[in-house]
Structure 1
Amino acid sequence: MSYSVGIDMGGTFTDGYFSDGEQAMIAKVPTTHFDLTRSVMACLAEGAEAFDVPLEQLLGEIGLFRLATTIGTNAVVTGTGDPVGLMVEAGAEKSLYGPSEPAPALGVFVRPDHVVGVDPEAAAAEVLALCRDLVQQGVRHTVVSLRGPRRDAEAGLRELVRDRYPVHYLRSIPLTMGWETADVDDDVLRTNTAVLNAYLSRPMAKLLYRTEGILQRAGLAVPLMAARSDGTFSRMPRTTAISTYSSGPAAGLGLAAVLAGQHGDSTVVAFDMGGTTLDLGLVRDGTHEVNPEPEIRGVPVSLPVPGIVSVGLGGSSIASADSSGTVTVGPASAGAVPGPAAFGRGGTEPTLTDADMELGLLADGQVLPGDIVLDAGRASAALAPLADGDATAAARLVHEVAHNTAAAAIEDLLSRSGVDRAEATLYAFGGAGGLHAGPVAALVGISRVRSFAAGSVFSARGVAEAALDGSALGRWHDADRSLPGGVVAGPALVNVSGAVHAVPSGWTARSDGVDSLLWERSG
Structure 2
Amino acid sequence: MSGTRVGVEVGGTFTDLVAIGPDGSLQVAKVPSTPSRPDEGALNAIEAAGLDLAEVGDLVHGSTVATNAILERKGARVMLVTTEGMRDILYIQRHNRRRIYDLAYAKPEPVVRRSDVIEASERVGAEGAVVTPLDVDATLERIAARLSEDDSFGAVAICFLNAFVAPDHEQRMADAIRGRFQHLKVTCSSDVCREFREYERASTTALAAYVQPVIDAYLGRFSEALSARGHRGNFSVMQSNGGRLPAEGMARSAITALFSGPAAGVVGAARQAARSGFGNIITFDMGGTSTDVCLVRDGQPDLAASTEIDGLPVKTPVIDIATVGAGGGSIIWIDDGGLLRAGPESAGADPGPACYGRGGERATITDCHLVRGTIRAETFLGGDMKLDKAAAEKVLSPVAEWLGLSLEEAADAAIRVAEASIVRAIQRISTERGHDPRDFALAPFGGAGPMLACRIAEELGIGSVIVSPAAGVMSAYGLLASDFVHFESRTHQLRLDAAAEPDIRHVIANVAEAAAAHLRMLGLQGAPSITISLDMRYVGQAFEIAVELPGDGGTARVDEIARLFAEAHHRVFEFDKAGGAAIEIVAFRARASVSPGAPPELSGAAGDGPREKTGLFERGQRQDALCGGRPAPGEAVEGPALIEDGTSTLLVASGWGGEVDDAGNLVLRRR
* TM-score normalised by the chain length of structure 1: 0.84
Equivalent residues of 1:10, 1:70 under 8 A apart? yes
Alpha carbons of 1:450 and 1:212: their partners in 2 closer, same or farther (altered >3 Å)? Answer: same
1:110 alignment counterpart: 110
Letter in 1 for 2:630: L
2:440 alignment counterpart: 424
Distance 1:199 1:441 in 2: 40
SS in 2 for 1:325: coil
2:499 alignment counterpart: none
SS in 2 for 1:373: coil
SS in 1 for 2:361: coil
Distance 2:417 2:259 in 1: 25
1:416-467 Cα shifts (integer Å, max 9, x gaps): 3322222211001111111121222222222211111121111211212445
Give the alignment partner of residue 60 of structure 1, picking from 54, 58, 66: 54
2:28 alignment counterpart: 26
Alpha carbons of 1:151 and 1:189: their partners in 2 closer, same or farther (altered >3 Å)? Answer: farther
Give the alignment partner of residue 244 of structure 2, picking from 209, 233, 246: 233
Q: CA deviation at 1:396?
A: 2.8
Q: Does 1:476 align with 2:602?
A: yes
Q: CA deviation at 1:387?
A: 3.7
Q: CA deviation at 1:70?
A: 4.0
2:161 alignment counterpart: 147
Distance 2:287 2:271 in 1: 21
2:625 alignment counterpart: none
Q: CA deviation at 1:310?
A: 2.5
When structure 1 is superposed on structure 2, of 455-464 and 116-125 the one drifting more is: 116-125
Alpha carbons of 1:446 and 1:417: their partners in 2 closer, same or farther (altered >3 Å)? Answer: same
Distance 2:385 2:145 in 1: 51
1:67-94 Cα shifts (integer Å, max 9, x gaps): 1224445666x66664765635565455
SS in 2 for 1:11: coil
1:269-290 Cα shifts (integer Å, max 9, x gaps): 0111111221211111222233
1:303 alignment counterpart: 316
Correspondence 1:107-506 to 2 at 5 A: 107-108=107-108, 110=110, 114=114, 118-121=118-121, 143-149=157-163, 152=169, 156=173, 167=183, 176-184=187-195, 186-239=197-250, 240-296=253-309, 299-368=312-381, 372-388=385-401, 391-468=407-484, 469=594, 473-481=599-607, 483-485=630-632, 486-506=635-655
Q: CA deviation at 1:353?
A: 1.1
**Could you say what the CA RMSD is over the residues aligned between the two structures, in angstroms?**
3.4
Q: Which runs of 5+ in 1 are unaligned?
A: 49-54, 168-172
Letter in 1 for 2:631: P
When structure 1 is superposed on structure 2, of 401-410 and 266-275 the one drifting more is: 266-275
Alpha carbons of 1:211 and 1:289: their partners in 2 closer, same or farther (altered >3 Å)? Answer: same
Q: CA deviation at 1:189?
A: 3.3
Equivalent residues of 1:452, 1:516 under 8 A apart? yes
1:12 alignment counterpart: 13
Q: CA deviation at 1:38?
A: 1.6
Distance 1:73 1:518 in 2: 34
Equivalent residues of 2:9, 2:42 under 8 A apart? no
Equivalent residues of 1:95, 1:103 under 8 A apart? no
Give the alignment partner of residue 665 of structure 2, picking from 510, 516, 523: 516
Q: Does 1:45 align with 2:43?
A: no
Letter in 1 for 2:119: D
Alpha carbons of 1:102 and 1:26: their partners in 2 closer, same or farther (altered >3 Å)? Answer: same
Alpha carbons of 1:342 and 1:494: their partners in 2 closer, same or farther (altered >3 Å)? Answer: same
Equivalent residues of 2:236, 2:246 under 8 A apart? yes
Distance 2:603 2:465 in 1: 21
Distance 2:115 2:322 in 1: 29
Q: CA deviation at 1:157?
A: 8.6
Equivalent residues of 2:79, 2:118 under 8 A apart? no
SS in 1 for 2:218: helix
Equivalent residues of 1:256, 1:270 under 8 A apart? yes
Equivalent residues of 1:7, 1:17 under 8 A apart? yes
Alpha carbons of 1:323 and 1:191: their partners in 2 closer, same or farther (altered >3 Å)? Answer: same
Alpha carbons of 1:85 and 1:395: their partners in 2 closer, same or farther (altered >3 Å)? Answer: farther
1:51 alignment counterpart: none
Alpha carbons of 1:68 and 1:305: their partners in 2 closer, same or farther (altered >3 Å)? Answer: same
Alpha carbons of 1:208 and 1:113: their partners in 2 closer, same or farther (altered >3 Å)? Answer: closer
Distance 2:332 2:282 in 1: 26
Q: CA deviation at 1:126?
A: 6.1
Equivalent residues of 2:381, 2:648 under 8 A apart? no
When structure 1 is superposed on structure 2, of 36-45 and 391-400 the one drifting more is: 391-400
Letter in 1 for 2:304: N
Distance 1:157 1:225 in 2: 27
Alpha carbons of 1:223 and 1:488: their partners in 2 closer, same or farther (altered >3 Å)? Answer: closer
Distance 2:302 2:223 in 1: 31
SS in 2 for 1:119: strand
Q: Across the two proteins, how many residue pairs are aligned to each other?
A: 504
Distance 2:186 2:235 in 1: 26
SS in 2 for 1:148: coil
Q: Which runs of 5+ in 2 are unaligned?
A: 99-105, 122-137, 485-593, 608-628
Alpha carbons of 1:353 and 1:133: their partners in 2 closer, same or farther (altered >3 Å)? Answer: farther
Distance 1:320 1:91 in 2: 49
Equivalent residues of 1:342, 1:375 under 8 A apart? yes
Identity %: 29
2:3 alignment counterpart: 2
* TM-score normalised by the chain length of structure 2: 0.67
Distance 1:366 1:183 in 2: 51
1:216-260 Cα shifts (integer Å, max 9, x gaps): 011111242112223332222220321212222222222322333
Letter in 2 for 1:19: I
When structure 1 is superposed on structure 2, of 201-210 and 492-501 the one drifting more is: 201-210
Alpha carbons of 1:142 and 1:376: their partners in 2 closer, same or farther (altered >3 Å)? Answer: farther
Q: CA deviation at 1:152?
A: 3.8
Alpha carbons of 1:378 and 1:174: their partners in 2 closer, same or farther (altered >3 Å)? Answer: farther
